[in-house]
């Protein structure tokens, strides 16, 4: 346990890194403290006849006539006893509280307090004299001593020497030899050493008893136990929550599995598979659907899909159809409105011809897919042409379409005349 004088605790403030940071109440360090002896009274009384357990109650009233303060405001500690007397230390309760407050403000937890005159070495037949910041410290016995200003202290020391049955030797430690009265210099051993408060042996005596007894020091982990307890509670609640969430997820998974099985039967039909077979069955069905989707992009199905918009509202009848990977050929009866539509289908070559040999009303429709290389060459060529050339080509294509329509118009008129003649003949024939 480290030792320090009460008046040196201000050094703890200077040791802080931040001068504005307070260490009050931290009790970061525990120390045994030397307290000023001038605030402590020493009394010796005859040993009471009552049992020792009752001395605490008797001693204050036995010293009542010697005290300047009411006994209710004093604190008493038995410092020791000999064959005939009991030695008592009396200190004001207010001083005790003040000393504890000073230690607390310095961030120190005081565990013991002893009058500072006991820091002087004691030996039978020797009176020790020391110095503490303007105060003379004297120890003339194992339990007796005092502290006073030099003018009062030397007078008290003379009184002690006169009352001694055997003249004791003097051991004086003062910063200046001239401070010692001349009549004491000859018989005294004088030196200039100072009291080392931190390394001087600390006696077993303690003023901190009764209501001033130091509180048991708490270990470092004690300050963290609320945090540790809160952490444990949070962990327990987390585990409990995870268990509930896991069970809820298991229930949701089972529900989703049942829904998937029901949806599988509704979409694909057939017997309901087991959960173990569901994945493989679903994957095979989905692969089949993807293959069907890919087949729609292959010829001749893709060509028939491309013709859908072109053949809308053609007012024609399908006579025959040849469809394969190389292309599609249709024979249509009628279909005059197809001659008015643009022959542009992206990715295909479309041509319309009339069957002049069999029947002029039969229209031959041919659709062939363009090769990818041809399409790419056409796109690159179009990108290189300037806008004026594009306009010219558009004009030429428009003129060619108009001319083709003009050429087909007489033939269409002939067809209409033939139909009208046939209808008249049919009416006359009956």
pLDDT confidence of residue 370: 75
The backbone region for 41, taken as left when phi is positive above 0, alpha when psi lies in -120 to 50, beta otherwise, is: beta
Counting as low any pLDDT under 50, the low residues of the chain are 15-16, 373, 375, 408-409, 412, 414, 417, 420-430
pLDDT tens figures, 245-287: 999 999 998 888 788 777 777 776 667 667 667 777 778 878 8
pLDDT value, residue 87: 92
Using the structure block, give the residue that is written with the tokens 């005059």: 336
Rounded to whole angstroms, what are the CA distances from 37 to 149, 204, 217, 275?
12, 16, 27, 92
- The residues facing 78 across adjacent strands are 88
> What is the structure's pLDDT at 98?
95
pLDDT attached to residue 390:
57
- For 92, the enclosing helix (H) or strand (E) is strand 85-92
Rg, Å, the chain Cα set: 60
- For 193-211, the DSSP string reads ----TTTSPPPS--S--GG
Q: Is the dihedral of CA 221, 224, 227, 230 positive or negative?
A: positive
In what side-by-side order are the strands of the sheet with 40-46?
40-46, 85-92, 74-81
Contact status, residue 133 vs residue 91, Cβ threshold 8 Å: no
pLDDT of residue 427: 43
* Residue environment code for 239-249, b if the CB has 16+ CB neighbours within 10 A, otherwise e: eeeeeeeeeee
- 3-state secondary structure at position 127: strand
For residues 119 and 272, give the distance between their C-alpha atoms in angstroms, rounded to a whole number: 98
Give pTM, 2 decimals.
0.51
């Amino acid at each position: 346990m480290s030792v320090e004088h009460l008046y040196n605790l201000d050094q703890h403030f200077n040791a802080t890194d931040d001068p504005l940071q307070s260490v009050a109440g931290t009790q970061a360090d525990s120390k045994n403290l030397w307290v000023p002896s001038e605030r402590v009274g020493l009394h010796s009384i005859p040993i009471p006849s009552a049992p020792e357990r009752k001395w605490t109650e008797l001693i204050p009233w036995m010293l009542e006539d010697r005290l300047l303060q009411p006994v209710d405001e004093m604190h008493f500690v038995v410092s020791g006893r000999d064959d005939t007397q009991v030695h008592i230390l009396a200190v004001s309760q207010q001083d005790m509280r003040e000393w504890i407050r000073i230690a607390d403000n310095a961030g120190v937890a005081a565990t013991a307090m002893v009058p500072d005159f006991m820091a002087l070495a004691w030996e039978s037949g020797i009176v020790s004299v020391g110095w503490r910041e303007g105060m003379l410290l004297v120890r003339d016995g194992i339990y007796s001593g005092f502290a006073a200003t030099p003018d009062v202290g030397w007078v008290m020391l003379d009184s002690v020497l006169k009352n001694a049955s055997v003249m004791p030797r003097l051991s004086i430690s003062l910063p200046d030899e001239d401070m010692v009265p001349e009549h004491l210099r000859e018989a005294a051993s004088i030196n200039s050493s100072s009291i080392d408060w931190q390394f001087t042996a600390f006696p077993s005596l303690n003023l901190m008893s009764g209501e001033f007894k130091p509180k048991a020091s708490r270990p470092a982990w004690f300050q963290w136990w609320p945090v540790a307890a809160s952490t444990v509670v949070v962990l327990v609640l987390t585990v409990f929550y995870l268990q509930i969430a896991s069970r809820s997820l298991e229930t949701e998974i089972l529900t989703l599995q049942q829904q998937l099985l029901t949806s599988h039967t509704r979409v694909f039909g057939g017997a309901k598979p087991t959960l173990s077979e569901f994945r493989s069955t679903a994957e095979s069905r989905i692969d089949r659907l993807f293959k069907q989707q890919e087949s729609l992009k292959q010829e001749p199905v893709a060509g028939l899909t491309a013709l859908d918009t072109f053949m809308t509202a053609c007012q024609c009848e399908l006579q025959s159809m040849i469809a394969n990977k190389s292309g599609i050929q249709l024979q249509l009866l009628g279909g005059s409105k197809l001659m008015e539509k643009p022959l542009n289908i992206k990715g295909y070559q479309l041509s319309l011809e009339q069957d002049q040999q069999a029947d002029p009303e039969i229209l031959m429709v041919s659709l062939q897919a363009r090769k990818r290389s041809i399409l790419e060459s056409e796109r690159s060529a179009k990108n290189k042409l300037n806008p004026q050339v594009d306009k010219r080509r558009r004009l030429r294509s428009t003129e060619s379409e108009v001319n083709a329509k003009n050429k087909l118009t007489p033939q269409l008129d002939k067809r209409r005349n033939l139909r009208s003649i046939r209808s008249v003949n049919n009416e006359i024939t009956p």
